[in-house]
Structure 1
Amino acid sequence: MIPRGIAAFDLTGRTALVSGSGQGIGRALAEGLAAAGARVIVHGRDGAKAATAAAEITESTGVAALSVAFDLTDSAAVDDGIAEVERMVGTPDILVNNAGVQRRAPIAEFSDEDWDALVATNLSGAFRLSRGVARGMVARGSGKIISIGSVQSQLARPSIAAYSATKGAIVMLTKGLCADLAPHGIQANAIAPGYFETALTRPLVDDEEFSAWVRSRTPAGRWGDVQDLVGALVFLSAPASDFVNGQTLFVDGGMTAVV
């Protein structure tokens, strides 16, 4: 029977692995899933930071959260990390590919080192984690994979061509995951945030000229709050979205809808 009403958004009894969730947007996403009932595994490179975030999520939601630490840019480490998660909770019901980095420079000055860092974390990390977790999801016959993209998957700005390329690739990775995994009862979708106020974007928020541009360019007239992303993530993680697959949901205050 297909769940209806509020039950369609209930994540009680489900497990969720959220990459890069020791702080920032990932931390808010992990807490949002826990508040909806999911048992969350907080991931980060820094084990102490991930463990602290997990303890705080447990305290704030009353749902026990766990933590795991491994480097997404290291294929062997990803495999070992997934094996550790499976020992703790089995194959996650929900995978959120959130971890990402940013590098800025004009394209003529962009270094190989920065390009490689962006691709390694933003794209290869999501690919490796999806590949590893998908194996268990296929064997089980169900799962949700949600990757965090960006409005920059569709819109370009000076000095972030490489970042935009990795986020555009996330959109196509999502479609590819759908093509491969939908026959196995797995849904793969993406969320593309607009401009959000976080600790990492604080310098941009505090730049009044840039902030004024964001407000004027966004029909909603403001920066996003991380809580604006939680509802979209819960929807894509829950039974409510069981027939939604290969899609990118823009949570951007209308930025990509207007010229």
Structure 2
Amino acid sequence: MCNPATGRWVDLPPHPEVPPGGRIFARLAFDPAVSSHFHVLQFKDSQQKEYVTGVNIYSSQTGAWICRESRLAEKISLFTGLASVFFHGMLHLHGLLYPMNMEDDVVLVAVDMDGQVWNTIRVPSGGLSFGRIRLSQGCLHYATTPLATDDKKKKKRKKKKKQKKKENTSTVWCMKDYDSKEWVLKHSVSNDELRSITGVDYKVAAFHPDRDTIFLDSYDVDTLVSYDMQHRKFHRIHSLRGNRATLFVPYVPLFSDSFAGADGQ
């Protein structure tokens, strides 16, 4: 693990073996406002079972791994290419109910740091529109973005008029009460409005941690912009060119010297 503010690395001990033919991917669970300790979660499945079967969890406090089997009531395949969020002591990441329906089966999977509590949270978008989860202003946020123009044309032939209207709108939702798991619509903007201002299609890339601002990544011109949801204003930040990324994460300084190791240092 690396502290990007200092460039210092912490070595982790070898993790448990991966099942033959299986895959495994890791996520970091870390909140510097609560503790300098962190967890690494390595979710696993197998070729025979295309849904999550368990997780290996490393704790910087104990310096050891624990293995836990999945306690999800449903079979869920996890998205390996999307960001995760550590909130309320649980790691949240995108999943898809298995077998795939491709319409309204996108969920958030939440697991605690002991691997004992597993929950699923329905996302407000329902289907496979481009979704992002992040923390902003102390609440869990979820944003949906219409698919790129070419993909939309194909889908329009198969969807009803009501569905087409929904697909052409980007939305931002907030979970103000985490215990209720209820999403509240915070902002929406039509694709036509976005295109009339910018001339191109954009997708939500990230959230500002303290403001009603989202960051947008263009599909075509490789430009990163900010969008002030309250005042509906755009600001061009940077031309990405060859530095285009799949995931964008806002930089938040960590003022401690490094991630805490097993000895607490």
TM-score, normalization by structure 2: 0.32
**Larger of the two Rg values belongs to structure:** 2
More helix by share: 1
TM, length-normalised to structure 1 = 0.32
